[in-house]
Amino acid sequence: MRGAAMTERDAKPGALGLLGGIGLGGALMYFLDPDRGTLRRKRVRDRLVHARSVASEGLGTTGRDLGNRVRGLAATTRSHLRSDDADDRIIEERVRNEIGRVVSHPSALTVTAEQGRVTLSGPVLAREFDDLLARVRKVRGVTDVGNRLEVHETADGVPGLQGGCGARAVSSSSARRTGLPPPGSPRASSAAR
Residues 6-64: tens digit of each pLDDT: 555 555 667 888 888 888 888 888 878 888 888 888 888 899 899 888 888 888 888 88
Angle, alpha carbons 153-159-163 (nearest 5°): 85
> Could you tell me whether strands 110-114 and 117-125 are parallel, antiparallel, or unpaired per DSSP bridges?
antiparallel
E strand or H helix at 145, and its extent? strand 144-152
Q: Give first-to-last CA distance, the chain, whole Å.
A: 93
The CATH number for 110's domain is 3.30.1340.30
Q: How far is CA 30 from the centre of its chain?
A: 48
Residues 184 and 92 occupy one common structural domain: yes
- The residue among 43, 63, 82 that closes a domain is 82
**pLDDT computed for residue 172 by the predictor:** 45
Residues 131 and 157 occupy one common structural domain: yes
Residues 99 and 124 occupy one common structural domain: yes
Residues 142 and 65 occupy one common structural domain: no
Residue 109 above 70 pLDDT? yes
Residues 127-137: tens digit of each pLDDT: 999 999 999 99
What mean pLDDT, rounded, does the chain reach? 80
34 lies in which domain range?
14-82
